[in-house]
Structure 1
């Protein structure tokens, strides 16, 4: 059973101020952007030892999609490598060099998809963000965890930069190199903390689940995530928004530009609400007065017209239908017994999570809890609860901890 952390003492000494980490200890390496340099660094990785720190920088908010524009690696004996995947589309020599090593990433689910796109796929991972969650650390961002466990403060300010920029500024490269500078040290500190708390096996199962999860499924009706969509009143307006969103997405894809830079969400919603009947009327809207939108006014106007002219049968419903339970706010009216079950389950899980010093969402997926309480298995016993949890992707440590609590909650109504 994982040990509870000892309570803090008022007499404990205050931690010394964090030491700023301003430059890589081995100096800033040149960017790997030629095949020769790539082979040389891959050979260094093969000669190196231990886990490999891995990170990737994207151009979210600037480019379409989540492509990696820089890959950072560091391994004992090999040093840090800053690999530019744009001129080097074939990174198979790197993949072969570290295929059998443990990869250390922070928030692995953010970087693994873009790494997989360029042929970098781990066989083993250690996710320092997830480890920090399991260990019960109050803040799990990379900078906060490094400062808490290692006593260093990392540079901030370039994570949201346009990493498709070439050449990359030196200060950005320093930032990128420092992101992997102490990642393996952080892994070791977190592994020791998890071992002390009796959570090493929990972490192993969680890291294995990351590898077996595969890429996330595409979200249904992504246009419904448009900011301001809830201000639209009827299905006709939703149809116009969908048409405008599709036109924007296609143009953004062709140009490799973030959709919001082609046409902001607020502009789309305003256009739908105004429902202009001429191109001139569309350009009268304040959000469409820029030169870029004047050039594209025909594209946007035709998209609005297509949505306006859709037959009633082809208009989208007010809300997306799904196979899951309704919003929790409606449970008390639609199924009071289910609401009672959920309340009991949530209270028990919150108490259990606090006992083991971890976030309740890491104890068990909230969506899985809702599904179980909304549609209980029959018969309502521990065996069917276990089967439901496993089918929903719960790890064995989660099943073992929560099975009895959830079975009791199902008996509440």
Structure 2
């Protein structure tokens, strides 16, 4: 695209005017850029929006009240087009509490119609014969000012989405898959919260990956806390301080001299200059208590794992028959719900699938009910045993 082929929105009044304009549109394209690879606490750094004729970039660092955007995202009248929008929606919900209606995802559509490449660049190239560079994919979108070249790149993420949507929607209609796509888009409207691992979670993961002494486990815990404090202070993600692998290596080798520490893979010159003293002090320090994980309690429903396995096998077979990816036969969460509490009868099955009428009619009511009914018997047998 040509430079400056977009309007920058840098204050709250301009954003309000933009939303008033967007509410008159029947379709817009939306994308976001975040700084998760460069900051301790990720946040949205840009929101890109395209209509059929104009392009906009909203800077949340300048227009700091994004609440008006909630009106357009929640609007049932205006269709919002994303590409692989699940994480964008999670971030918009996490940072601003927005709700969503009337979505279309070009990545999901491309997957349903059998495109070979599913990244935005691949789909644009396959459908529109346009090449999109990937130069700034991992850039720090939290830096200010942002170079014009980065802003141009960001704008390409929505520039072609409405055209893509039109092409892919026609393909979905021809394949008879538009109702299935609609169910997928509806699921997107309720983003799932991503639980980031706590320091305790990281400790339990590392400590059970190898057999360590009490001192080794104490070193792991202290290094995790040190890294977290340093990441907060420098506003950097944990992995940019030092890696989990390095923490584990230090706990296994327990180096007490600088040359021993320097020999470990991943220490590097910067870490040696800035952290070697603290790391060696931690290794030599007294053994401290470490977090204790609550004892694992197996599921109260003894047939759950057996039912889940049967459902997974059925879903794979049904997907092969339909020539679709397995998640399009039965969503993962619904499969888990059925494994936990199987439908009692055909009416109960239909009721539990009321959000998925296409799947119910096309796959489950015909192919799946004998299987789902048998799941209850598996559970009963296990309970008796």
Give the TM-score, by structure 1 length: 0.73
Does the 8 Å CA contact 2:81/2:165 hold for their aligned counterparts? yes
Aligned match of 1:211 in 169, 189, 208? 189
Residues 4-153 of structure 1: matches in 2 within 5 Å? 23-24=1-2, 28-35=5-12, 37-46=14-23, 49-77=25-53, 79-96=54-71, 99-100=74-75, 101-116=78-93, 117-118=95-96, 120-153=98-131
Quick one: which of 220, 233, 237 aligns to 2:211? 233
Q: CA deviation at 1:258?
A: 1.2
- Please state if 1:268 is matched with 2:247: yes
Q: 1:195/1:287 Cα in 2 relative to 1: closer, same or farther (>3 Å)? A: closer
By how many angstroms is 1:138 displaced? Answer: 3.5
Secondary structure in 2 matching 1:290 = helix
Quote the residue 1:404 is aligned against.
369
The 1-side partners of 2:221 and 2:329 are apart by 37
Alignment partner of 1:154 is 2:132: yes
Give per-residue Cα distances to partners, 1:134-172, cap 9 Å, x unaligned: 334333222222233333332223211221232222222
Give the TM-score normalised by structure 2.
0.77
Note closer, same or farther for the CA distance 1:219–1:395 as it changes in structure 2 (3 Å cut).
farther
CA distance in 1, matches of 2:73, 2:305: 49
Note the alpha carbon deviations across 1:83-102, whole angstroms, 9 max, x for none: 21112211234444564222
CA RMSD of aligned residues (A): 4.0
Give the C-alpha shift of residue 249 in structure 1: 2.5
Matches within 5 A, 1:178-197: 178-197=156-175
Please tell me whether residue 357 in structure 1 is matched to residue 323 in structure 2: yes
Number of equivalent positions: 368
Name the CA shift for 1:140/1:284 in 2 (closer, same or farther; >3 Å): closer
5 Å-filtered alignment, 1:366-377, equals 366=332, 369=335, 377=342
Contact 1:105 1:183 in 2 (8 A): yes
1:330 is matched with which residue? none
Higher mean Cα deviation, 302-311 or 141-150?
302-311
Post-superposition offset of 1:231 = 4.8
Q: Do the aligned partners of residues 222 and 193 (structure 1) sit closer, same or farther apart at CA in structure 2, a change above 3 Å counting?
A: farther
Give the equivalent residue in structure 2 for 1:5: none
Q: Unaligned regions of 5+ residues in structure 2, if any?
A: none
